[in-house]
Structure 1
Amino acid sequence: MYLLAGIIDFFTSINGIFYTLAYFVGGIPFGLLYGKFFGGINIREIGSGSIGATNVLRALKTQNPKLAKKIAILTMLSDALKGVVVIGIAKLVGLSFEAQWMMAFLAVVGHCFSPFLKFEGGKGVATTVGVVAVFLPIEAILGLIVWFLVGKFLKISSLASLLGLLVGIGSSFIIHPEIPHITTHTPLVLIAFIVIYKHIPNIVRLIQRKEQKVI
């Protein structure tokens, strides 16, 4: 009885409400929705089955290459903004930085393990960039630069994403030995762990030199 009361109290508290909101908003499968709306296709049945921008591009480019690029960019921006919007509202409400970082983590979890897709989802890269940019814009920019350069010259999306992630989060240990307001890198490490976990099949293909390029 006490446990149930504690759970109810948590989810009806301001922090609990925002944590739940961050997870569910993070879980919105924009790539899937855009693929169905603009292309009439289910991107989960095409390519890698991921709901991210790369698979949106791969799924739509056979129909309309120009539209595919636009929708892929729209997907990337939408996924990046999912956590940003909720954290922005939390800032206005006055939630603590610890709570905001928890929301950042839950937004990435929601994207990678969406409650709307039977706890499947995307790789979490765009959502990670978005939430990290809220707190550590320099690290987010460094990660984006690496992602862009690797993607442009090597044309391997997963490699670009992983290297961008490692540079972005890795650089935080140099630029910010103590993360402002929370003093710990734990949220970043946990986010990186989730994104790398979701990329395990890609990592295996990279090692085997079987990973497909995005042309």
Structure 2
Amino acid sequence: MDFLLNINVQFYILSYLIGGIPFGLLIAKLFTGKDIRESGSGSIGATNVLRVLKETNPALAKKLAITTVVLDALKGVVLLIIAKLIGLSIETLWAIAIFSVIGHCYSPYLKFEGGKGVATGAGVLLVMLPIETLIAFITWFIVGKVLKISSLSSLLALCALILSSFIIHPDIDGIKTHAPIFIIAFVIVYKHIPNIVRLFQGKESKVI
């Protein structure tokens, strides 16, 4: 058990446990008494918070959805900032980013179910690759405004981030590989498979 005394391992465990906190579920339950897993897409993310709660209280639903996005993004951001301040290596920072996203998508508090990883992924990537994440955000915003399909805007934003990362950072500083980005992207895309199927079937719901 000596490995648990290693500060890197401690941060990996913390990032997974904090990443797994289901803020969307907790916030919706606290303010409305609803379990958002039982309605809409069944996800614990901001989109489903908005989709489910707007039926009864649109104004509150929007506020809670925004709060969910912010808290889900901060789950990885806070730990990464602390890890940076104490001088942990770039390799460790990328691992913290990955574990935060995995924790959100496969929460230990929800029998290893969870959200789609978009907000948490955006948070950690904003710290690690700020310019690429800004490009992704612009893509997400434009596609979301035009098509009003949350999953499609998220997936296209992810594509924009990956493509721009190869242009802006052909060799990722300190690690010389895009592997961590692809791991995060794989987890997010995998969690979106039901959405992708519905997109091809023309059955994916719009967020209005």
TM-score bin, normalised by smaller chain: over 0.9
Give the length in aligned residue pairs.
208
Superposition misfits of 4+ residues, deviation over 4 angstroms: none
Q: Distance in 2 between matches of 1:151 and 1:84?
A: 24
* Residue pairs, 1:53-72, within 5 angstroms: 53-72=46-65
* Residue pairs, 1:83-122, within 5 angstroms: 83-122=76-115
Q: Distance in 1 between matches of 2:57 and 2:151?
A: 23
Q: Distance in 2 between matches of 1:39 and 1:179?
A: 44
Structure 1 residue 169 displacement after superposition: 2.0
Q: Distance in 2 between matches of 1:135 and 1:201?
A: 29
Aligned partner of 1:41: which letter?
Answer: K
Q: Distance in 2 between matches of 1:32 and 1:153?
A: 28
Q: Distance in 2 between matches of 1:104 and 1:137?
A: 14
Q: Which residue of 1 aligns with 2:201?
A: 208
**Are 2:188 and 1:195 aligned?**
yes
**Are 2:179 and 1:164 aligned?**
no
* Residue pairs, 1:4-43, within 5 angstroms: 8-43=1-36
> TM-score, normalised to structure 2's length?
0.98
Q: 1:150 aligns with which of 143, 147, 153?
A: 143
Aligned partner of 1:201: which letter?
Answer: P
* Residue pairs, 1:178-189, within 5 angstroms: 178-189=171-182
Aligned partner of 2:190: which letter?
Answer: Y
Q: Which residue of 2 aligns with 1:4?
A: none
> TM-score, normalised to structure 1's length?
0.95
Structure 1 residue 11 displacement after superposition: 2.1
Return 5+ residue gaps in structure 2 as ranges: none
Aligned partner of 2:194: which letter?
Answer: P
* Residue pairs, 1:123-142, within 5 angstroms: 123-142=116-135
Identity %: 64
Q: Which residue of 2 aligns with 1:52?
A: 45
Q: Distance in 2 between matches of 1:101 and 1:17?
A: 14
